[in-house]
Chain A
Amino acid sequence: MSSAPLPSKIADGSDTVLRDEVRTTGMVWLRELIRFERTRTRILSGLIQPVLFLVVMGYGMSGLVGTTAGFDFKKFMFPGIMAMSVVTTAIFSGMSIVWDREFGFLREMLVAPTSRASLALGKTAGGASVAAAQGTIMLVLAPLIGVHLTAVLVLEIIGLELLMAIAMTAFGVFVATHIERMEGFQVVMQMLLFPMIFLSGALFPLNSLPGWLTVLTRINPLTYAVAPLRQVVFAAQNMPAAARHRFPATVELFGHTLSIGTEIAIVVVFAGIFIALAIRGFSRTE
């Protein structure tokens, strides 16, 4: 059976059409979602680490710190653990470009007649969606910890997780475009990701650290992403003043307590910078 010849396309040579670029970004985004949905084991293993932290550290510390007005350390940790889960997944997703390179698919993307910015944005959007989803799955643990959820709170959490995920995925993309080999990936995880998480306030309060460590926590973008998440969660809990004092959720900068709006604005600025760096990194690749 001989079918009709393919319709021939006349090359017009026009270079950039916005609608096509948006389609490209959407497609790259969709690919990330498909891959996430297909790797159930990764979703599961993504849960194990935070749960371990929550159980081991949460219960261990709760014994040590004790309960203040019905509020314990596990509840303090819970938003931080969600943030940790989001950030880890986000950086992993952004850095999956290293795998794309290793398996050749990156070339398929790079030779396409599209702008590199569309590709970088799609990768960031996809990774961020996946990371926010992974963080949101953590909410199933809330009843076990005794954290009270409302519909509004869940929406607030998803919004904040998305913002944090966008910033960190873009950061991951940026880093990935600057490392050539798989080994570099391990190094980045050890040298960047873990210190950033530990110095973000995700796992313990930042208010009694020595001066130089305090400086590090304040230049860590994650600090400003973790605090709002904890603030909205705490705001929805029935927390007496004693507990609020014992488990502070806010960040102080130059002697001022930052408002949630300021913190979000800081994260938005970081996200903008990381996205710009990611696009630049992608444009320079190969």
Chain B
Amino acid sequence: MVAGGGASVIEVRELTRRFGQFTAVDGISFDVSEGEVFAFLGPNGAGKSTTINMLCTLAHPTAGQVTVAGFDVAARPKAVRRNIGLVFQDQTLDEQLTAQENLRFHAVLYRVPSGEVDERIARVLELVDLSDRRYDLVSEFSGGMARRLEIARALMHVPRVLFLDEPTLGLDPQTRALMWEDVLRLREESNVTVFLTTHYMDEAEYADRIAIIDHGRIVALDTPVALKAAIGADTVELGTTDDAAAIAALERAGYRVEAVAGGARVFVENGENAVAALIETAGVPVLNVHVHRPTLDDVFLHYTGREIREAHAEAIPARVRAWHGRRR
């Protein structure tokens, strides 16, 4: 195994999926390197799950090529499956079994050698902090615990690539943070590549690279820092005793400035480093300073013309637990 970056573990070329006339995934191409955390960020219906399903051999591409862990998904689906771990958008645990029984079931289906099963169960449960729940029925788990158990299960067979479709959907902020700790630690310890989809901006920040997907196309793909840098500079807003004078002075000094409600807005490369020079240049007493860096929200808005928050309703989490209401 190659340690840390370099070799591609996922290669996607012109991948397309149509449902009748409707094109859900529209000719996307990208590579993911070994050990990378790669995020698909997009609104509802963007084509995230459809893409993951094709990468995991669960759906057939209409056109295009995908290799995962060196195997073509169309030609060698079983080999691909043995090398990936999967956490679906919807829960897929057997709630009438205990945590251990769910993990054991998975271990056998994924050909974990019998002698190693117990040790691995202990190991993955420790990783997601559920060791004390090993013998409990999953029906007694909270939504967050069930989610973490699913992640643990996906790790039972030591996958090279871990696919997570909205892994934190329906989790509270603490549990989300815990889960991210799990994922990042895992990458650290086992160099597993993580491919995930998410609605949450703050979550995408954890990724090494982000692909923003909208209407089945990748509209931007880069590191979080580069994405933010690409949509523009930082802005510094100055409130002064005499805004007109300040604006005039700053413009004379060659800054790009515009007047806003609270004073002057200046566009600069690096807002924090520019503050001292700006105050000096303004020439009038400065009352307040506000530095704004572009966020991923700005990036998303820039590329899709929409706020992601309006694109996804917070009501969705109800779905994960809704399964419990429908037990036999």
Contact = CB atoms under 8 A, between A and B. Distances in A.
Contacts of A7: 116, 158
A6 B190 contact: yes
Nearest to A100: B94
Question: Which one of B79, B82, B106 has the greatest number of beta carbons of chain A within 10 Å?
Answer: B82
Interface string A7-20: 11101010111001
Contacts of A261: none
Contacts, number: 99
A23 interface: yes
A108 to B, nearest CB: 4
Contact of B111 (A99, A102, A113): A113
B160 interface: yes
Interface stretch (B85-93, B239-247, B261-269, B283-291): B85-93
A31 interface: yes
Interface in A182-209: none
B82 A27 contact: no
Given A27-B108, A111-B86, A13 B123 contact: no
B158 A8 contact: yes
Interface in A1-54: 2-3, 5-9, 11, 13, 15-17, 20, 23-24, 26-27, 31, 34-35, 38-39
Interface in B216-274: none
Interface residues of B, number: 45
B200 interface: no
Contacts of A35: 94, 96-97
B109 A39 contact: no
Interface residues of A, number: 35
A144 interface: no
Contact of B92 (A13, A104, A286): A104
A102 B327 CA distance: 10
Nearest to A286: B58
A244 interface: no
Nearest to B69: A11
B18 interface: no
Contacts of A107: 88, 92
B1 A8 contact: yes
14 contacts: A3-B123, A5-B189, A6-B123, A8-B1, A11-B79, A13-B79, A16-B78, A31-B101, A103-B94, A104-B88, A108-B105, A112-B106, A113-B78, A286-B58
Given A7-B116, A111-B57, A111-B81, 11 more contacts: A6-B158, A13-B79, A15-B76, A27-B105, A27-B109, A31-B94, A103-B91, A104-B90, A105-B92, A111-B86, A113-B82
Question: Which 7 A-B pairs rank lowest in CB-CB distance, beginning with the nearest?
Answer: A112-B109, A104-B92, A113-B81, A27-B108, A113-B82, A13-B79, A108-B92
